[in-house]
């Protein structure tokens, strides 16, 4: 559920409600929370609040939480109900009196608007908005002012601690180095001001979030904002009355500390190292913990298995203490303020209770414009440069960090000064960073020999790369020493603002901005050398892992590292770095990349969540067309979403080189300009980067001679772009066979497909589902179907809003068509289609239609009569899908009249969710006695009970019964039916597949089945069974399989199971286990990079101690590392990303009276 920062409740009623809750002692408050879990006390129809949200909450925030779930009137009603259950008589009397006060709201609580999106609270805040401005609205407070009831000794403790924290923060502040020509901006808007105030101060309800997470890119101001909070508290301007103590914990500082206790951790910042722990423990709600830099913490793989910790004096590793603090096991009533880079947000969500995530957005677009103008001092020049930066979306995104703005501006200013003919249009993100580093280092004064430079530079890049693998961004003196980085080099890098000292960690350094570390980490893989950055595996194998992870992940920094890596392959940039850094680039990098790309042919990249657009963006960064052509010659399929100018640009650059591409999914929402058909080609040639020319380059892939499948669903195209697409699709060189056009906007442009249907005889599959075709479009397309040049054999028209008139046109045209073999009209309301008007001409030859799908078409009992007649007249139809239609027993009876005929050719029938009972099963059983053609029958989600199964089992035992697949999912079966099924399993020679998912068979039922399944006469190969039941027989199944049995059990997906894709065969959804992937599992989860230390903890331990040889692993483990992991680099297996569009379809209450009897003429 969504929530808002401001929840409006009348002040008087709010104060009264809060007074009741605060009047409860601790046991009563716990009982009140427990009562909120009772559906009876919640009056039955109120939403239950998750216990995880309640267990550690105080009265103030409890009222805030209640306001999110209930209206104000409902809060009073729930409170009264619970107080009555707790026998709080006086409170009940007062609450009843308050509920009778006129004006108490009876409707939902009004919610005020809030900037950003909350999860449960999300807020966008620029870094320039500091809490000092907010303090002005609250009024300054005297730092020495204390509450009168605080003892003198406690006052002294607080005063000395505030002085210590103020000095600490100011020292940290003074130690942060900034470039001399950096521009400082401070821009606060009223809206942002109010947003932060509502977050950090009690709002009108007095509610204060207990866990706040400041997330954002590197360098956008998260730490600065956190430090300001501490500083203004220490100065007495902010939170002085709310928090008695504020603790600032830097994750990178405590990362390598020895084991300690929470009490010991808090004492480190105390003036005399003796914190008043007992006083802190007595008022935990008055404590604020500021935890800075969560991204530097490794989450232990055994964290969930570790017992809860509530003891302030229990000695633990510091990271464990922090995790118990985050999970609200330690000091549950304290408030937490956490900063993290955005890619660790998911890890935090698993730890926190009721967090409010605040998105720190950094420089706004206006801030960036002001920065450029002030830096260059020439408004026209600055706006021209900023216009170019906006076109480079990744770079513009980076510029939300002030240091990146400085990097871009200083680099461009130097280049413009050095080269009067400098061309912005030739620049890339990589080239800017190359020129930035080369220009700085060209003037660096370092007393090193020429022979030492390559080793020093390689060591620095290796340090950066290793940090990216381990999520390490702060480097201690021992890390620099381990890499043999010499002091003159470090001093020079500090002077040049490439590195900076860490203000709160002695002898520690970090890269001035994380993009510097990302760039240098990428450079490591193009430098000459064999050794990898983390030891053990060679560099080229590390590079493969990097690409496999980066191209199947949405982590911004991982993606940027891959972008820099490809960008550094550009010849002139490599030469620039070689000249400046005196460090040779590897000539093998391009060959190794081509070898990596060669392996892409053997993988199903679409199913493996391969980021094609990011891959194309990386290739575009090289601007090396020969190399791009070579690497894309291995690409056989692609999945692209063109939603902006950059995506169109990189797609046009790369697709024209995909000469072997056979499958393409292309979703286009980027605006492509309209133009006349007589557009001058010469004009296009003068504007090679125009969107029109780019779209033509995209469309050129359709006629490459290899593309056989195209899906451009979910696209927004204009008439010109659609005509251009269709023109290429009818090119004689186009070999397209399958075309999918679902959810196209506007629908009217689909009329242009007529050109393709007439002009491409190779096109056999057409899917127009999820388009409200209307009469004009449907009429034009349907008329084309009867044309002799049209060779459509498979046609999908699902969810097209077909009207009776449109159906009349369709069936009339199809009755003259000899090519259509498959037709799906699912999710169209065909209940109002008239029968007689849809008859096809009697002189036409028999239809070639073999498969017909009419799922959820509002068909009823009368429809079955006409379908039965059609089945008798048509001998070619073998598959019929009537799923989710209200046929009932009487409708099934009509169908069985045709099914009972020996000459009925139907082989696959789906009657799932058709509202029939055991009586319908009896009719089916009778029909199957006379039908030897039926092989697949799905009757799942019908209320047939055990009696229905009994009827079917009687015919299944018949030796002439050919049924090999039976679907009985969710049929309300009990253990009693297993006896009937066991009898069939022992004797049937044809039944291979049986689906019993979603039935309460109980252990005794499965035991009965298993006795039959173990028999040598049982032919069953696949069984659908609930997981808890499967676990009962799992051991015996493994024994059967060891003895050569082909039996496999498929269960519903559980959280601990790997995703499985099921093919739909006759409506049975549990038989085909998809094995499409990128091959062998390496390194980490493909969807979210995880530090190496999470998977190889022993490696992490030894890395911290500097033991690099052999990766710090035992011989056997090292052998496994090489043989099982790095030997297979580039064959990474991803977790499947199942992209499902789930649709909840409910049948209309009105019973359908008539039916698509135009099928009689069609069939």
The full DSSP string for 1076-1093 is -S-SS--SS-SSS---HH
Which range of 35-49, 546-560, 649-663 scores highest in mean pLDDT? It is 649-663
Dump pLDDT digits (tens) for 961-990.
Answer: 999 999 999 999 999 999 999 999 999 989
Helix (H, G, I), strand (E, B) or coil at 921: helix
742, 1141 contact by CB (below 8 A)? no
Distance CA 412, CA 427 (A): 10
Q: When comparing pLDDT for 896 and 673, which is higher?
A: 896
H-only helix segments in 377-443: 379-391, 393-398, 402-418, 429-442
169, 292 contact by CB (below 8 A)? no
DSSP state of 764: -
DSSP state of 837: G
Both tokens of residue 185?
């901006």
Dump pLDDT digits (tens) for 515-546.
Answer: 999 999 999 999 988 888 887 778 888 888 88
Averaged pLDDT of the chain? 77
Range name among 673-682, 695-704, 745-754, 990-999 with the lowest pLDDT average: 673-682
Distance CA 386, CA 67 (A): 45
Helix (H, G, I), strand (E, B) or coil at 508: coil
534, 466 contact by CB (below 8 A)? yes
Over 90: is that where the pLDDT of 920 sits?
yes
DSSP state of 1056: T
Distance CA 838, CA 1047 (A): 48
Q: When comparing pLDDT for 127 and 506, which is higher?
A: 506
Range name among 38-42, 287-291, 563-567 with the lowest pLDDT average: 38-42
For residue 166, whether the previous peptide bond is cis, meaning omega lies within 30 degrees of 0, is no
Both tokens of residue 544?
């493969």
Q: When comparing pLDDT for 1063 and 607, which is higher?
A: 607
For residue 597, whether the previous peptide bond is cis, meaning omega lies within 30 degrees of 0, is no
Both tokens of residue 495?
């002077």
Residue 14's pLDDT is 65
Residue 267's pLDDT is 84
pLDDT band at 52 (very low <50, low <70, confident <90, very high): low
Residue 140's pLDDT is 39
809, 780 contact by CB (below 8 A)? no
3-state secondary structure 514-539: HHHHHHHHHHHCCECCCECCCCCCEH
Q: In which region does residue 859 sit, left (phi positive, over 0), alpha (psi from -120 to 50) or beta (all else)?
A: beta
Total number of residues shown for the chain: 1163
Residue 1067's pLDDT is 29
Over 50: is that where the pLDDT of 1146 sits?
no
Residue 772's pLDDT is 94
Q: When comparing pLDDT for 181 and 840, which is higher?
A: 181
Helix (H, G, I), strand (E, B) or coil at 211: strand
Helix (H, G, I), strand (E, B) or coil at 246: strand
118, 81 contact by CB (below 8 A)? no
Nearest of 651, 687, 656 to residue 668 by alpha carbon: 651
Nearest of 670, 657, 659, 664 to residue 640 by alpha carbon: 664
Distance CA 375, CA 825 (A): 63
Edge-to-edge order in the sheet of strand 509-511:
474-475, 509-511, 499-501
N-to-C CA span, the chain:
50
Task: Please work out, in degrees rounded to the nearest 5, the angle formed at the alpha carbon of residue 992 by the alpha carbons of 989 and 994.
Answer: 125
Over 60: is that where the pLDDT of 1049 sits?
yes
Which range of 137-151, 415-429, 493-507, 969-983 scores highest in mean pLDDT? It is 969-983
Both tokens of residue 317?
């590793």
Over 80: is that where the pLDDT of 649 sits?
yes
Over 80: is that where the pLDDT of 6 sits?
no
539, 530 contact by CB (below 8 A)? yes
Distance CA 2, CA 595 (A): 48
Over 80: is that where the pLDDT of 673 sits?
no
Dump pLDDT digits (tens) for 124-164.
Answer: 444 434 333 333 333 334 433 444 466 677 787 788 888 88
Mean per-residue pLDDT for 651-660? 92
Which residues on neighbouring strands pair with residue 60, listed in sequence order? none
What would you measure as the largest C-alpha separation in the chain, in angstroms? 107
Both tokens of residue 664?
């393409």
Dump pLDDT digits (tens) for 821-868.
Answer: 999 999 998 886 643 333 333 333 456 889 999 999 999 998 898 888
Residue 109's pLDDT is 30
Burial of 951 (0-12, 13-18, 19+ CB in 10 A): buried
Residue 914's pLDDT is 97
Over 90: is that where the pLDDT of 90 sits?
no
Both tokens of residue 500?
């900076």
pLDDT band at 1069 (very low <50, low <70, confident <90, very high): very low
Please identify which residue in the block is written with the tokens 């599959």: 765
Structure pTM? 0.74
Residue 303's pLDDT is 67
Identify how many contiguous H helices and E strands the chain contains and give both numbers. Answer: 48, 24
Distance CA 636, CA 1047 (A): 35
Q: When comparing pLDDT for 257 and 931, which is higher?
A: 931
Distance CA 1132, CA 1135 (A): 10
Cβ contacts of 72 within 8 Å, gap of 6 or more: 9, 10, 13, 104, 105, 109
Distance CA 810, CA 833 (A): 12
Range name among 67-81, 394-408, 925-939, 1034-1048 with the lowest pLDDT average: 67-81
The DSSP element (H or E) to which 562 belongs, if any, is helix 556-567
Distance CA 277, CA 262 (A): 10
Range name among 202-206, 408-412, 1088-1092 with the lowest pLDDT average: 1088-1092
Q: When comparing pLDDT for 604 and 189, which is higher?
A: 604
Residue 838's pLDDT is 36
- DSSP codes of every residue in 781-809: HHHHHTSTT----EEE-TT----HHHHHH
pLDDT band at 220 (very low <50, low <70, confident <90, very high): confident
Over 90: is that where the pLDDT of 364 sits?
no
- DSSP codes of every residue in 323-344: HHHHTTSSSTTSEEEEEEEGGG
Residue 41's pLDDT is 65
pLDDT band at 43 (very low <50, low <70, confident <90, very high): low
pLDDT band at 638 (very low <50, low <70, confident <90, very high): very high
At residue 123, what are phi and psi to the nearest 5 degrees?
Answer: -145, 135
549, 541 contact by CB (below 8 A)? no
Share of the chain above pLDDT 90, in %: 31
Distance CA 435, CA 424 (A): 13
Could you give the C-alpha distances from 464 to 34, 452, 472, 520, in angstroms and in order? 51, 19, 9, 6
Nearest of 129, 226, 227 to residue 172 by alpha carbon: 227
Dump pLDDT digits (tens) for 440-471.
Answer: 887 766 666 666 778 888 899 999 999 998 88
Both tokens of residue 157?
């403790």
Could you give the C-alpha distances from 342 to 219, 355, 1094, in angstroms and in order? 12, 14, 19
DSSP state of 846: P
Range name among 290-294, 420-424, 702-706, 876-880 with the lowest pLDDT average: 420-424
Share of the chain above pLDDT 70, in %: 77
Distance CA 752, CA 989 (A): 53
Residue 208's pLDDT is 61
C-beta atoms surrounding 178 within 10 Å: 13
726, 753 contact by CB (below 8 A)? yes
Mean per-residue pLDDT for 333-350? 87
């Amino acid at each position: 559920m969504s929530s808002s920062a401001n929840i409006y409740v009348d002040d008087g009623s709010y104060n009264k409600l809060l007074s009741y809750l605060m009047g409860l002692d601790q046991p009563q408050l716990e009982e009140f929370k427990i009562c909120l879990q009772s559906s009876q006390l919640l009056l039955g129809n109120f939403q239950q609040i998750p216990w995880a949200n309640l267990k550690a909450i105080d009265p103030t925030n409890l009222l805030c939480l209640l306001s999110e779930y209930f209206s104000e009137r409902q809060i009073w009603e729930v409170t009264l109900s619970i107080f009555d259950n707790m026998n709080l008589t006086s409170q009940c009397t007062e609450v009843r009196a308050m509920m009778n006060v006129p004006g108490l709201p009876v409707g939902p609580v009004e919610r005020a608007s809030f900037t950003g999106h909350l999860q449960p609270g999300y807020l966008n805040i620029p870094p320039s908005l500091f809490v000092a401005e907010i303090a002005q609205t609250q009024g300054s407070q005297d730092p020495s002012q204390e509450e009168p009831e605080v003892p003198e000794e406690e006052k002294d403790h607080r005063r000395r601690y505030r002085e210590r924290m103020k000095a600490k923060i100011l020292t940290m502040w003074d130690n942060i180095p900034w470039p001399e020509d950096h521009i400082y901006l401070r821009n606060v808007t009223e809206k942002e001001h109010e947003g932060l105030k509502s977050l950090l101060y009690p709002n009108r309800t007095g509610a204060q979030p207990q866990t706040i997470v400041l997330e954002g890119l590197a360098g956008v101001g998260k730490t600065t904002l956190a430090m300001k909070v501490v500083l203004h508290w220490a100065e007495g301007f902010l939170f002085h009355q709310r928090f008695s103590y504020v603790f600032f914990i830097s994750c990178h500082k405590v990362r390598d500390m020895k084991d300690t206790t929470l009490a010991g951790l808090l004492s480190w910042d105390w003036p005399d190292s003796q914190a008043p722990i007992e006083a802190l423990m007595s008022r935990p709600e008055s404590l604020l913990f500021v935890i800075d830099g969560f991204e530097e913490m490794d989450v232990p793989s055994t964290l969930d298995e570790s017992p809860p910790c509530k003891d302030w004096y229990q000695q633990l590793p510091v990271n464990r203490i922090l995790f118990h603090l985050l999970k609200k096991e330690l000091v549950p009533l304290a408030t937490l303020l956490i900063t993290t880079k955005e890619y660790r947000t998911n890890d935090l969500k698993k730890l926190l209770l009721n967090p409010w995530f605040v998105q720190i957005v950094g420089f706004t677009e206006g801030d960036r414009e002001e920065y450029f103008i002030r830096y260059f001092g020439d408004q026209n020049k600055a706006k021209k440069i900023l216009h170019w930066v906006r076109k480079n979306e990744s770079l513009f995104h980076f510029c939300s960090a002030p240091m990146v703005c400085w990097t871009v501006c200083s680099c461009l200013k130097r280049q413009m000064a050095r080269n009067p003919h400098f061309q912005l249009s030739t620049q890339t993100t990589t080239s800017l960073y190359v020129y930035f580093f080369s220009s700085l280092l060209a003037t660096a004064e370092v007393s090193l020999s020429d022979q030492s430079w390559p080793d020093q530079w390689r060591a620095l890049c290796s340090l950066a790369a290793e940090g990216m693998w381990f999520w390490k961004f702060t480097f201690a003196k021992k890390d620099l020493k381990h890499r043999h980085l010499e002091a003159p080099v470090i001093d020079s890098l500090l002077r040049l603002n490439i590195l900076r000292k860490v203000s709160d960690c002695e002898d520690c350094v970090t890269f001035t901005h994380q993009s510097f570390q990302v760039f240098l980490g990428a450079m490591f893989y193009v430098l000459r050398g064999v050794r990898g950055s983390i030891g053990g595996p060679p560099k080229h194998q590390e590079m493969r892992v990097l690409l496999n992870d980066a191209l199947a992940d949405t982590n911004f920094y991982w993606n940027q590292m891959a972008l820099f890596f490809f960008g550094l392959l550009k010849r002139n940039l490599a030469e620039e770095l070689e000249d400046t850094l005196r460090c040779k680039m590897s000539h093998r990098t391009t060959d190794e990349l081509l070898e990596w790309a060669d392996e892409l042919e053997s993988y199903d990249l679409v199913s493996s969540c391969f980021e094609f657009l990011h891959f194309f963006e990386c290739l575009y960064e090289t601007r090396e067309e020969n190399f791009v052509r070579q690497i894309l010659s291995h690409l056989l399929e692609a999945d692209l979403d063109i939603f902006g100018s950059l995506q169109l640009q990189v797609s046009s650059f790369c697709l024209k080189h995909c000469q072997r591409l056979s499958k393409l999914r292309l979703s286009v929402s980027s605006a492509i300009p309209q133009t006349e058909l007589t557009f001058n080609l010469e004009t296009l040639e003068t504007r090679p980067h125009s969107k029109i020319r780019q779209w033509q380059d995209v469309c050129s892939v359709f006629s490459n001679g290899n593309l056989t499948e195209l899906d451009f669903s979910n696209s927004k195209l204009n008439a010109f772009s659609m005509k251009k697409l269709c023109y290429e699709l009818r090119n004689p060189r186009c070999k397209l066979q399958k075309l999918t056009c679902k959810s196209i906007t506007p629908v009217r442009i689909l009329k242009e497909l007529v050109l393709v249907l007439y002009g491409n005889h190779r096109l056999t599959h057409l899917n127009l589902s999820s388009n409200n075709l209307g009469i004009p479009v449907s009429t034009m397309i349907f008329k084309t179907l009867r044309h002799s040049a049209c060779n459509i054999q498979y046609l999908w028209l699902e969810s097209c809003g077909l009207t009776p008139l449109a159906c009349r046109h369709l069936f009339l045209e199809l009755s003259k068509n000899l090519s259509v073999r498959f037709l799906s009209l699912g999710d169209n309301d065909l209940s109002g289609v008239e029968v007689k008007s849809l008859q096809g001409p009697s002189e036409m030859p028999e239809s070639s239609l073999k498969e017909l799908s009419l799922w959820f078409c509002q068909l009823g009992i009368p429809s079955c009569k006409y379908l039965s007649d059609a089945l008798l007249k048509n001998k070619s139809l073998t598959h019929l899908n009537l799923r989710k239609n209200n046929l009932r027993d009487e409708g099934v009876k009509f169908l069985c009249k045709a099914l009972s005929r020996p000459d009925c050719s139907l082989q696959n029938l789906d009657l799932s969710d058709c509202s029939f009972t055991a009586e319908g099963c009896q009719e089916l059983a009778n029909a199957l006695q006379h039908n030897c053609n039926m092989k697949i029958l799905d009757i799942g989600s019908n209320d047939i009970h055990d009696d229905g199964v009994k009827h079917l089992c009687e015919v299944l035992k018949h030796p002439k019964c050919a049924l090999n697949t039976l679907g009985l999912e969710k049929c309300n079966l009990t253990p009693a039916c297993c006896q009937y099924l066991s009898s069939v399993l022992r004797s049937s020679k044809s039944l291979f597949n049986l689906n019993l998912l979603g039935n309460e068979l109980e252990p005794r039922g499965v035991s009965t089945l298993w006795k039959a399944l173990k028999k040598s006469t049982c032919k069953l190969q696949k069984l659908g069974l609930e997981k808890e039941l499967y676990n009962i027989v799992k051991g015996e199944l493994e024994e059967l399989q060891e003895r050569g049995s082909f039996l496999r059990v498929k269960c519903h997906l559980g959280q601990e199971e790997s995703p499985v894709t099921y093919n739909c065969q006759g409506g049975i959804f549990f038989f085909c286990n998809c094995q499409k992937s990128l091959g062998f599992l390496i390194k980490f989860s493909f969807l979210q990079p995880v530090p190496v230390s999470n998977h190889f903890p022993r490696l992490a331990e030894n890395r911290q101690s500097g033991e690099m040889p052999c990766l710090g692993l035992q011989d056997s483990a090292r052998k496994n590392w090489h043989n099982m992991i790095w030997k297979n680099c580039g064959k990474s297996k991803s977790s499947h990303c199942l992209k499902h569009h789930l649709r909840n379809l409910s049948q209309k209450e009105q019973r359908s009276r008539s039916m698509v009897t135009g099928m009689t003429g069609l069939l």
